[in-house]
Structure 1
Amino acid sequence: MSPEQPAQGQGKSLFSLQRRERLMEELRAHGAITVRDIAVKLGVSELTIRRDVNILADEGLVSRVHGGATLPSPLDRSGAAGRQQPHSYSIGMVVPSLDYYWPQVISGARAEAEEQNLRIMVRGSTYDAADNRRQVQALLDTQNIDGLIVAPDMTGESGQELLRWLNALPIPVVLAERRPPEENPAHRLEWVATDHAFGAGMAVRHLWQEGHRRIGCLTDSSSPTSPHVVRGWRQAMAALKNSVEDAVHEDSARTANGDRAAHFDHVLELCEETGTTAMLVHSDTQAVAFVQHCVDKGLKVPGDMAIVGYDDEVAYLAEPAISAVRPPKQYVGKVAVQLMAARLAEGRMRPVHRIQLNPDLILRESSIGAPRGAAAGLLQDSK
């Protein structure tokens, strides 16, 4: 799709944004434009170009001159000096949850948008590609948005189709906590995401330093984060010359009939069989439930089973408090807005940016100071 052709059904406002982007690119290339020349080049009326110039001038992006415009001059006082400036751009934001993990991302985005004089419009969605697209389309249909920050579901054919659709939109799109897969690189999309594999590696190395040699991993493959956590666990174990071939690695998404207690019993049985004394658990809520299950079975945490959670949303509420990897959620939102602001200001000449942020490891009681030894026999005694 050429830059001059808006996506079908996106509305006149998107074409107007693209036209103003072309004006800014002409100004950056030549320093000045005339209304007559640019109207001919874009195939629109001179009145339309004058209106575009007025909008850009009111936003402080250009200086009006007779018959055209130039890049802003410090001598230009014709703008709205002395009165509050309107928001320079409006950004739509679609996230898959409004009650876990994502509120902090939204908070970081809103704070940065305030600093940048941008307007943020947030819509909650679900972990479902079809619903993600509905929410994005609602913003496109009802709001005059200049850019989009989104955390889409990218699984399956529907997720890949959503990614292709986002990549073809005529407005800039920044993915938050998402990275396109190699088979669908979506070359126009920018992203900012936590390096979850690095975070998992920190957790494994911490448990190793605490004396654990058999370290398992319990995740939920329905979460977009879990594959990266598993990858980081595998890489760290390999770096420590510790095989994962017979290590405990369980997926809670496959829990039979949703029976979590039976699933946790199975995990503990595997830990006993393999001498596993430590587990990396994603997510926080699952880590809290797993700790409670261990305690109910008479196991000491961390004495018999050391545990590190992932996300650090509710880990501190457990008894004992759970060590956890903490993604920089507010900074994910902050950097996403920074990427969007730079893209809107610089246009298509700016290279695509893709940024990874390192998480922190917050140490608490669940993984520190455990006796050095396997829990063999303890599970049998507790039954």
Structure 2
Amino acid sequence: MSLRGEYSVHAEDRHQAILRRLQKDGALRVTDFAAELGVSPVTVRRDVESLADRGLVARVHGGAVFPERWAETAPANARPSPEARSRERRERPVGMIVPSATYYYPEVIKGAREAAAAHNIRLILDISNYRADVERTQADQMVADGVEGLLIVPSEPQGWHESLPVPTVLVERRSDFSTAGALDHVVSDHVHGARMAVRHLVEAGRQRIALLVRGTSPTAPRVVEGFEAAVRAEGLEVLRPASVFDIGNWPPESPEYDCQFKQLLDAAADRRVDAVVAHPDNEALTLLRRLRERSLSAPDDVAIVAYDDEVAALADTPLSAVAPAKHEVGVCAVELLSRRLDRPDGPRHQLFVLPQLRVRSSSST
């Protein structure tokens, strides 16, 4: 396998392996870890650089450490003062469990780390890989290890989170406020984000707007809700047989996936669709490519607004995108938990952070 293929295909698994090793040992050497994984040191070095760019690790000569461990490996003249070390000893340990360290969540983690430093909190990170059973084990272990609070991005509807013995804030997931044990939560307002995307397309003169969505994503129900509400509010025509093209959890090579794309592309070719909101970003990139295969272009034939803004700007026709304020979500989550730690019996909070719309070439002429 070429180095480029090795790096791209397995990057997420390697990134998570690096974070787990740092969580366990506090540091790693690039050459030793590369040998363990059976990849080249250049590949691991690039992984470390990618994680460092996201603020998840700190690079040191020949390896990596968590940013919090930098003081232990820095030169003497860069080490914290005795007063700073005293403050560090009083830091409150807090666990953070997210489903991924590569897509969407790096900015959430970065915001949480920055806010944690400001609130004298030591953030301890783990990755669940969207597995609810792993998530619960991780939470239980963190509690057993002495964390004073938890930030959790649940992979499934909560049920056990409310019974955790430490203050807990849900991140990018809503708590059930109909129950007595409801938790604080902070979420991006994806309903608002989808409505904003539709409104932008209407203002650009589009009237036949479709939604392409991976319906198994935890974000998808809110995006669909906002899209359908906007279609009604704007008095737009409901497309037949449907305005929503759901590719579920089907892999790109599957007949089901291809069928949904074909129906959408046929509608675009027949001028029954003149704009698409696509969630997530990578599906918007696929849509752009497949439109070209049909000799259609964006924005002339079909305007496109992606949702998430992780890679939308990198398309050869830069894609307009709804950009959730991920960094701010991380900041707010830590601030809510810090407040809960200080006031265990204080009022509960449900916080909605509004996304932004970033207009680029794919929806403007």
Q: How would you bin the TM-score normalised by the shorter chain?
A: 0.7 to 0.9
Q: Following superposition of structure 1 onto structure 2, how do residues 49-128 of structure 1 map, counting pairs within 5 Å?
A: 84-85=86-87, 86-128=89-131
Partner of 2:150: 148
What SS does structure 2 have at the residue aligned with 1:332? Answer: helix
Unaligned runs of 5+ in 2: 1-81
Partner of 1:232: 226
Say yes or no: does 1:251 pair with 2:246.
yes
What amino acid is aligned across from residue 105 of structure 1 in structure 2?
V
Is this contact kept in 2: 1:234–1:244, CA < 8 A? no
Is this contact kept in 2: 1:111–1:334, CA < 8 A? yes
What SS does structure 2 have at the residue aligned with 1:253? Answer: coil
| Percent of residue pairs identical | 36
Change (3 A) 1:135 1:186: farther
Which of these residues, 178, 184, 190, is aligned with residue 190 of structure 1? 184
Unaligned runs of 5+ in 1: 1-79, 370-383
Q: Distance in 2 between matches of 1:361 and 1:367?
A: 11
Displacement over 4 Å in runs of 4+: 80-83, 254-257, 259-262
What amino acid is aligned across from residue 344 of structure 1 in structure 2?
L
Q: Following superposition of structure 1 onto structure 2, how do residues 341-360 of structure 1 map, counting pairs within 5 Å?
A: 341-348=338-345, 350-360=346-356
Structure 1 residue 83: Cα displacement: 6.2
Structure 1 residue 134: Cα displacement: 2.1
Partner of 1:18: none
Say yes or no: does 1:275 pair with 2:272.
yes
Partner of 1:337: 334
How well do the aligned residues superpose, as a CA RMSD in angstroms? 2.1
Partner of 2:55: none
How many residues matched? Answer: 280
TM-score normalised by length of structure 2: 0.72
Is this contact kept in 1: 2:171–2:185, CA < 8 A? yes
Say yes or no: does 1:363 pair with 2:365.
no
Q: Deviations over 1:289-320 (max 9, x none)?
A: 11111122211111011100000000011110
> For the pair shown, which has the larger CA radius of gyration, 1 or 2?
1
Partner of 1:4: none
Is this contact kept in 2: 1:285–1:314, CA < 8 A? yes
What amino acid is aligned across from residue 191 of structure 2 in structure 1?
A
Is this contact kept in 1: 2:96–2:151, CA < 8 A? yes
TM-score normalised by length of structure 1: 0.69
Is this contact kept in 1: 2:320–2:360, CA < 8 A? yes
Is this contact kept in 2: 1:94–1:150, CA < 8 A? yes
What SS does structure 2 have at the residue aligned with 1:113? Answer: helix
What amino acid is aligned across from residue 145 of structure 1 in structure 2?
V
Partner of 1:212: 206
Structure 1 residue 224: Cα displacement: 0.4
Q: Distance in 2 between matches of 1:251 and 1:186?
A: 35
